[in-house]
Amino acid sequence: MITAVVGANWGDEGKGKITDRLAQDADYVVRFQGGSNAGHTIKNEWGKFALHLLPSGIFSKDAVSVIGNGVAVNAKILAEELKTLEDAGVEHSKLIVSDRAQVVMSYHMLLDAYEEERLAGKSFGSTKAGMAPCYSDKYAKIGFQVGELYADRETLMPRIENVCRIKNTLMEHLYHKPLLDPEEIYKEIKENAEILRPYVAHTSAVLHQALKDDKKILLEGQLGALKDTDHGIYPMVTSSSTLAGFGAIGAGVPPYAIQKIICVVKAYSSAVGAGAFVSELFGEEADELRRRGGDGGEFGATTGRPRRVGNFDAVATRYGCMMQGATEVALTVVDVLGYLDELKICVGYDVDGKITTDFPNTIQLEKAKPVYETMPGWKCDITGITKYEDLPKECRDYVERIEELIGVPVAMVSNGPARDELIFR
């Protein structure tokens, strides 16, 4: 059976922790999309880690960690992550990387940064990890798959020269930057090949065999439903599909094998980057939540940028769960809210004077104003509680109201950043 762990909102919901916890009982853990543009923060017996490419199941002693074909792989960043694990004494010999995954090249990162610079105040808030240029090249059929890194020079050079002709037109006439050198690109490809060589595999064949052998497979998504290329707050989205449905494609497994979809939901809202954010807070109220939130504050695991924060948005979350096909929800960072006298839940949007509970397209979303419902806070620290029944009544009321509004059962409540600070209902 396959279980997918995905995000309901803008990302940063706590998928890393949930995946790390569930990976202890899994045979395979698969990253199926995205790249090093977002980080999953893990806190366990080895320490605190921000993973960008590695599946959060890498800390499981028994599970095989898989970087699937839907991922954009930056070989040098992967090497840095592996070195961090080695320094902490974490074993990673069971890592495999799909031979069909796309490779992030240095020019992808350059083009990403140059475009953000060109757009200036109208930029997308990119992490400059090269995702848009890399995935653009994938669909333009001028990218490089991992398996192609091992081709001979006669095969690679015509393709490299073609890429350089295309990219250098942009470099010279749009960005006014130094031109790419085909020989340097060839050298980079061969360096990437050596970094990835120990891990390259036909991962979809491995996973199909695992299904035949009744193994447990865990799919790990990056970012959340509201950053999906098709169904998110376009154009302020990521460059890959963040939905569980894409897990079948990005991991190379049958769609019918994904039987459980755990949607990770934050007990308040947060987002990195630009885009519509209806329940956003500002000023001192936002600063206080940002300071207390997450694990050591609400700051991007990849960029370190302060996250935008807001009240819980039931409209956006219900939509995110719907698009993910959630079968259950893991509600995270509930412990953070213990300082509040009261909590606000966004239960509707006011768009041009009309109240809606449906998540609209971006044009209407930009005009939406939040409609709030207020609930009393529990005014105490809930860390250390292991049974749902032992949570304060006001906390349980908040969880159950969220459950009612989003229409999906809350199966897990996270009350701390560590792996074991998780209450199963």
pLDDT computed for residue 303 by the predictor: 65
Tell me the pLDDT band of 123, cut-offs 50, 70 and 90: low
Q: Which residues contact 21 (CB under 8 A, 6 or more apart)?
A: 419, 420, 422
- Interatomic CA distance for residues 184 and 389, integer angstroms: 62
> Token pair for residue 65?
């960690």
In whole angstroms, give the CA distance from residue 58 to residue 220: 12
Q: Are strands 2-7 and 217-224 parallel, antiparallel or unpaired?
A: parallel
The pTM (predicted TM-score) of the whole model is: 0.92
| pLDDT digits 0-9 by tens, 47-103 | 888 888 999 888 888 899 999 999 999 999 999 999 999 888 887 779 999 999 999
Distance from C-alpha of 214 to C-alpha of 158, rounded to nearest angstrom: 44
Identity of the residue numbered 54? L
In this model, does residue 302 exceed pLDDT 90?
Answer: no
Strand ranges (E), 104-216: 200-201
CA-based nearest residue to 66, from 26, 38, 111, 39 = 26
* Weakest mean pLDDT among 12-21, 167-176, 252-261, 295-304: 295-304
What distances in angstroms separate CA 362 from CA 235, 237, 328, 366, one per listed residue? 8, 11, 27, 6
H-only helix segments in 264-375: 283-292, 314-324, 362-365
- All domains of the chain in start order, with CATH: 2-87+204-424 (3.90.170.10), 102-198 (1.10.300.10)
Q: Are 58 and 78 in contact (CB under 8 A)?
A: no
pLDDT single digits (tens) 12-57: 899 989 998 999 999 999 999 999 987 777 777 788 888 889 998 8
Residue-level length of the chain? 425
How far apart, in whole angstroms, are the C-alpha atoms of residue 121 and residue 314? 30
- Classify strands 410-414 and 422-424 as parallel, antiparallel or unpaired: antiparallel
Q: 71 forms bridges with which residues in the sheet? A: 34
DSSP H or E stretch at residue 354:
strand 354-356
**How many whole angstroms separate alpha carbon 340 and alpha carbon 274?**
27
Instruction: Write the secondary structure of 88-118 as one string of H (helix), E (strand) and C (coil).
Output: CCCCCCCEEEECCCEECCHHHHHHHHHHHHH
Whole-angstrom Cα distance, residue 8 to residue 326?
9
Q: Measured between alpha carbons, how far is 244 from 251 in angstroms, rounded to an integer?
A: 11
Closest CA to 382 of 402, 364, 399: 399
Burial of residue 98, with CB atoms counted within 10 A of its CB: 0-12 exposed, 13-18 middle, 19 or more buried: buried
Is the pLDDT at 305 greater than 80? The verdict is: no
Q: Which residues are catalytic?
A: 12, 40
Q: How far apart are CA 292 and CA 288, in angstroms?
A: 6
Asked if 16 and 40 touch (Cβ cutoff 8 Å), the reply is: yes
Percent residues over pLDDT 90 in the chain: 81
**Bond preceding residue 235 cis, omega within 30 of 0:** yes
pLDDT digits (tens, 9 = 90+) for 375-425: 999 999 999 999 999 999 999 999 999 999 999 999 999 999 888 899 999
- Whether 405 and 345 have beta carbons less than 8 Å apart is answered as yes
Which pair of tokens denotes residue 369?
A: 């104003």
At 56, list the tokens.
Answer: 């959060």
